[in-house]
């Protein structure tokens, strides 16, 4: 192993872990923007206020709201640096691994897409569906960040599943239901009291109706998770069970107590944890071996000459 490789490999792991934390963390800081009513604290894009990138005294916008929203935007810059370094490290490592480079590039592309979506969200006045898209893209990027981390400790051969076919199919359906569950959660928030700005129109659907749909999807996910226990009882499985149960309990308390601000942000943090745990169960259910290139024999080499 070269000195460069010996340095880059652990760096890649640290950057991938940082990407997971940052991609999930931006969703949490976004929730803080919402519950503090700071969604339009910086009412323009890419400037915070007309004529200034950073917050300045403004007669129509409170300083606190400006700095909360500006802090959220600044974190995007941090994520951009982290994901950019992930891609650079993947490119510099020798031999270059196509799968690692692609997964790192997805992170960079996702951050660029999020910048565009974030700008559009501000310009659209925080319309509820744009905020939902913003959150969901973050959750997809969290999933791919977990795949990136896993790719660093496995080979580039074809995936070999370590679980029965029934468990493989169940995990695919679980992933789909998980994202439907997250989407339903964004709808509950969109119809609730935390719009990000007092003037933002809400989703015109009764909150109890959306909360029931959200709860039904949770119970469906739990049912499939119980079924998965007949096939898999590994550590990642039990971690996912614990995270889902805790997140479900938190959601119930949140609903019963009138959606207090601090629980909203904790619930968003829990949503990211569910995505990470589900992705970890997914990656632990298969393995990729190292592809070994067998050198050609002397006879083969002469025949090709």
Q: pLDDT per residue over 123-146, tens digit each?
A: 888 888 989 999 999 999 999 999
Q: Is the pLDDT of residue 78 over 60?
A: yes
Rg of the Cα trace of the chain?
A: 22
Q: Is the pLDDT of residue 42 over 70?
A: yes
CB contact at 8 A, 260 and 254: yes
In our burial notation (b when 16+ CB lie closer than 10 A, e otherwise), range 15-35 reads bbebbbbbbbbbbbbbbbbbb
CB contact at 8 A, 20 and 177: no
Which residue, 214, 192, 203, is CA-closest to 260?
Answer: 192
Alpha helices per DSSP H over 61-206: 63-92, 98-123, 128-151, 165-191
Read off the tokens for 228: 């998965």
| Top-confidence residue, 292 or 58 | 58
Read off the tokens for 90: 């993947």
| Top-confidence residue, 305 or 110 | 110
CB contact at 8 A, 141 and 112: no
Tell me the average pLDDT across 208-236. 94
Predicted local confidence at residue 291, as pLDDT? 59
Q: pLDDT tens digit string along 243-302? A: 999 999 999 998 898 888 899 999 999 999 999 999 999 999 988 887 554 444 544 544
| DSSP H or E segment with residue 256 | helix 235-256
Predicted local confidence at residue 303, as pLDDT? 47
C-alpha–C-alpha distance, residues 270 and 117, integer Å:
23
Read off the tokens for 239: 């971690």
Predicted local confidence at residue 193, as pLDDT? 82
Q: pLDDT tens digit string along 154-196? A: 888 888 888 998 899 999 999 999 999 999 999 998 888 877 7
C-alpha–C-alpha distance, residues 207 and 186, integer Å:
11
> What count of other Cβ atoms lies within 10 Å of the Cβ of residue 300?
10
Predicted local confidence at residue 302, as pLDDT? 44
Q: pLDDT tens digit string along 88-120? A: 999 998 888 999 999 999 999 999 999 999 889
> What count of other Cβ atoms lies within 10 Å of the Cβ of residue 46?
11
């Amino acid at each position: 192993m070269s000195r460069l490789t010996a340095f880059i490999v652990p760096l890649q792991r640290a950057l991938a872990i940082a990407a997971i934390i940052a991609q999930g963390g931006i969703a949490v800081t976004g929730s803080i923007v919402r519950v503090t009513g700071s969604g339009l604290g910086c009412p323009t894009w890419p400037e915070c206020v007309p004529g200034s990138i950073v917050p300045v005294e403004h007669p129509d916008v409170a300083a606190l709201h400006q700095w909360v929203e500006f802090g959220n935007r600044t974190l995007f810059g941090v994520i951009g640096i982290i994901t950019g370094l992930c891609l650079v490290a993947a490119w510099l490592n020798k031999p270059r691994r196509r799968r690692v480079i692609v997964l790192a590039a997805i992170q960079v592309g996702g951050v660029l897409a999020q910048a565009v979506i974030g700008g559009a969200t501000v310009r659209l006045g925080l319309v509820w569906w744009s905020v939902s898209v913003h959150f969901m893209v973050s959750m997809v990027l969290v999933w791919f960040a977990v795949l990136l981390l896993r790719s660093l400790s496995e080979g580039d051969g074809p995936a070999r599943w370590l679980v029965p076919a029934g468990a493989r199919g169940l995990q695919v359906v679980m992933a789909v239901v998980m994202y439907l569950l997250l989407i339903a959660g964004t709808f509950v928030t969109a119809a609730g009291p935390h719009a990000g700005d007092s003037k933002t129109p809400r989703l015109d659907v009764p909150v109890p109706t959306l909360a029931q749909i959200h709860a039904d999807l949770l119970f469906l996910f739990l049912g499939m998770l119980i079924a998965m226990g007949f096939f898999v009882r590994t550590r990642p499985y039990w971690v996912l069970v614990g995270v889902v149960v805790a997140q479900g309990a938190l959601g119930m308390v949140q609903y019963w107590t009138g959606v207090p601000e601090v629980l909203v942000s904790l619930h968003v943090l829990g949503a990211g944890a569910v995505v990470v745990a589900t992705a970890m169960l997914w990656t632990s259910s298969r393995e990729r071996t190292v592809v070994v290139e067998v050198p050609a024999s002397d006879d083969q080499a002469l025949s090709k000459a």
